[in-house]
A and B are shown apart, each in its own frame.
Chain A
Amino acid sequence: MWHPIDHFLFHGLVGETIVAYLITFVVPLAGPALFIRFVGIKGLRNVLTYEPKDTPIHRLDPRLKLLYPVFIGVSSVLLSWQWTYVLFGVTLVPWVLLRPSRVRVRVLAVIVVAPALLAIWSQGLYATTPHDKLIFAFPVTMAWVGTVGLSKAGLVYGAHQASRILVTSSAALILVFTTQPSDVVWATTRLLAPQRIGLAISVGVRFLPSLFERLNTVMRAAEVRGYDFTTPDRWWRPRQSWDYARRMVRALPLLTVPILVGSLRGCSQMALVADSRAFNVSPRRSTYRVVAWRTGDKVALVLGVLVAAGVLVIVLTGNGRF
């Protein structure tokens, strides 16, 4: 015997439509809401940075830490999703050693878990086939969203994808949280054979903040000239929103010119400086910095090799795929 409320929600067109709307929009909107509430753009910039601490992970050779997310990422592609979740468990071990601050854990949870949930949910709705068993079939009023409903097979497929998001984020953030930018640049230039790529990465890290600063200056200069970037007070009025969008689009070429000209002038000077400092003259550069190979590095390397061997065995024995 159906309860009247159940009947309304699952057997009436209106109720089914309400549930379908909730299924379609609550989770996708919850992700951004969580992000804005607990992280925000400024929070992301402040928290996704190196956190000075004295832990075994911080002391590791930056080259090992740079290889770590690469290895984990490749493994997550080779392994089945069940094994990838096991690998995710393995990647949590460094976090235990790291003991990040509560603020960072909160941010970490949001920026890692929110995309994973979104992946599961979107696949649950859209990775469906006509033979799938639906957990909830959408009524005809929801035909416009382009799916027949929420399927179990889709959710499982989403969980496959989520496993890879989780494991890669977990490994990459260890690098970001525990390695100084200068160490990342150094490790990159040491590991990459082509000097040009190493220099490009180094210059990129060095100049990214300057580029944002410059964009800010040029936008201010345009505003002083009278160009308006402020969001309209009555944004819900189509005319104001349309004007705002048009101003933004028209600003792109305006702002690009000074930034591009400034950067090109800077680049030609930078090229002169790099060439005058013998860039790319010798096939193999010598090194100023010597990173001592310590016990911790050896232990990490051995553990890494063991995990790699495990991954290899799983893949070679055919247990990796399903």
Chain B
Amino acid sequence: MSADRIAGQPVPAVLRARVEELCYHPDRPPALRSIDLAVRTGEMVVVAGPSGSGKSTLALALAGLIPHRVGVAAWAGEVTWEQGGAAPVDLTALPLHQAAQHVGIVFQNPEYQLIQYQVDAEVAFGPENLALPHDEVVARVWESLAKVGAEGLAHEAISGLSGGQKQRVAIAAALAMSAPMLVLDEPTSDLDPVGTDEVLAVLHRLAHEEGHGVVLVEHKLDEVAPYADRVLLVQDGQVVIDGHPRDAFVPTSRWRAAGVRPPELAALSEALPERFGATVALTVEEAAGRWEGAAGRWLGARPEVAPVGLVSTGTSGAEDAALEIAGVTVSFKQRRAVDGAELRVGAGEWVALVGANGSGKTTIGSTLMGFVEPAAGSATVFGRPTVFGKIPKQADRLGYLFQNVDDMLFCETVRAELEFTRRNRVPAGPDAPDPAEVARLIGLADRLDAHPYALSGGERQRLALGALLTRAPRGLILDEPTTGLDEAHAEALFELLARVRTSIGSLTCLLITHDMRLVARFADRIVVVREGRIVLDTTPRRAFARIELLEECGVRPPPIARLHARLAARPLDEVAVSVDELVGLLGLQGEDIHRGVVHVASD
């Protein structure tokens, strides 16, 4: 990458976007308006916002894809690249491959941006197309792979890579076009915490060591806050907050009002001004430093604040097993995906199944549903053994919400989706609800004639859930249900599930997820899977106290839980799982603190 220098220091290039108005449809509000944004090389800018706020559109505009490559109804603005004293280059007027040599874009799903069979061929694809000399092509391939720490993957087939590895290769391919600026649209949404960390660390290094500019559209603010130089909140097509993460996240009420979950540590910093002053801690270590020398033994007290959110009405896993697997082993191509797993989920319980990508979580869910046949062991659903392949019969007891809900929608209207059972002569039980009733429950009663693909992402997910409910299942397996959803939509989904539970009396849920804040908020129990084996089965509070074990399993507890464990004078059995709980503990005064000390001492 070339950069002009003044007195030996590189002069940052600037990507500037001025957008007066951008509309996709003439009769709808603008997707972007009144934007004046400048991003410099060497900085990492995080763009956050609720679903539909315009942040992905901003990413496309910054990459020069609007208005010519992505169709819009109205566009008034300019996107320029300014380097040294040279005249600004209008990116929207350049052919795409020339714009890509200034600003590279990486999309959410790595699957569709890797088009070659092998990693090195993928990274070489751009330089080869530019007809660069062979030596230059080779140099760019290895330099780009080195920047993302993927030299060892050069000769691997792309289909065999993990999600994090694929996303790193996609970044390398963009870098091989010699792009000094990278725009990434939710590149970590499909990744587990380990994959997310891989990608964020690479981006941080690119910005601060390699001098690239990074614009990152991201929902995972807890993870990304420590890395960011600037944070932007986009709401209704406008940038409403733009500042350093220490300043931008407070007051957190502005983020919550926009439907975005602020980082837990920002909320804690705000709640304890006497401890944090006017600044916001961005890492657990930094927050712990505020108690330096005064780490309270009293923090060992058990959190006594009532759990936030839904409290299970069910029983423990030991009795009334609704879902059960016993000694299940599943192998794919000589690799054991699940190895002798034992799990019981009580009727009405909400259990979270967590672990790294490829640890066997989805295989356990698939075994319960009958998608895969175990080599050994058995699965039981509400007292009846699961029979491999007999999915339609099992689906009247247990529903399965797929990660990509678009795979579950087949019909031309919402009404047809909800009447799918009747129209296809699927036998429905006596408890099967009326489709109109389900439509009201999922809040789509007024959209019955709409095409499913005309609905928003959150609405499509509610529709897919509603479609499952038409068979009146008593249990649900939810596979990564909140991927790509903002906080408001994730909350709405779980509120809907709570309504379903109320309406049918009891609902058993097995939640497969990487979102630990969701687990902390909604799960009664957490089951941790590592390399096909269940290594931990306990309450979220107890599980999150086992930080080292969880890290080994590719699971990262929420920052608040980690901070609580860090502040305690000795290993804890249970930790706080929300800001309110921790603040409640920290707020203990006088006798309460004393009781806390006594409590710890008596343990």
Contact = CB atoms under 8 A, between A and B. Distances in A.
Interface of A: 181-182, 185-186, 199, 202-203, 205-206, 209-210, 214, 217-218, 220-228, 230, 250, 254-255, 257-258, 261-262, 265-267, 269-270, 272-282, 284-290
A110 to B, nearest CB: 23
B114 A206 contact: yes
A83 B127 CA distance: 47
A277 B420 contact: no
B65 A282 contact: no
A262 B389 CA distance: 25
A261 B454 CA distance: 13
Interface on chain A toward B: helix, strand, loop, or mixed SS?
Answer: helix
A277 B120 contact: no
Contact of B99 (A222, A273, A276, A279): A276
B395 A226 contact: yes
Given A225-B420, A226-B395, 16 more contacts: A206-B115, A217-B402, A221-B402, A223-B395, A226-B424, A227-B426, A228-B426, A258-B408, A275-B96, A276-B105, A277-B97, A277-B125, A277-B173, A278-B177, A281-B130, A288-B124
B127 A286 contact: yes
B36 to A, nearest CB: 25
18 contacts: A181-B117, A185-B121, A209-B159, A220-B402, A221-B407, A226-B420, A227-B424, A257-B410, A261-B406, A266-B109, A269-B109, A269-B113, A275-B97, A276-B104, A279-B129, A281-B129, A286-B127, A286-B128
Contact of A225 (B111, B127, B408): B408
Nearest to A214: B407
A265 B120 CA distance: 26
A269 B112 contact: yes
A258 B408 CA distance: 8
Contacts of A185: 116-117, 121
B509 interface: no
Contacts of A273: 107, 112-113, 115
Contacts of B420: 225-226
A149 B95 CA distance: 68
B117 A202 contact: yes
Given A226-B395, A277-B126, A285-B128, A270 B134 contact: no
A230 B390 contact: yes
Contacts of A289: 120-121, 124
A210 to B, nearest CB: 7
Interface string B82-115: 0000000000000111011000110101011111
Given A225-B467, A269-B109, A277-B129, A182 B157 contact: yes
A254 B416 CA distance: 12
Nearest to A290: B134
List the 10 closest pairs (A to B, CB-CB), nearest first.
A226-B426, A288-B124, A278-B97, A277-B126, A223-B391, A282-B131, A276-B100, A278-B129, A266-B112, A182-B118
Contacts of A272: 65, 69, 96, 105
A214 B424 CA distance: 22
Contacts of A276: 63, 96-97, 99-100, 104-105, 174, 177
A320 B142 CA distance: 53
Contact of A258 (B132, B389, B406): B406
A182 B392 contact: no
Contacts of B421: 225-226
A286 B392 contact: no
Given A226-B392, A273-B112, A281-B130, A218 B407 contact: yes
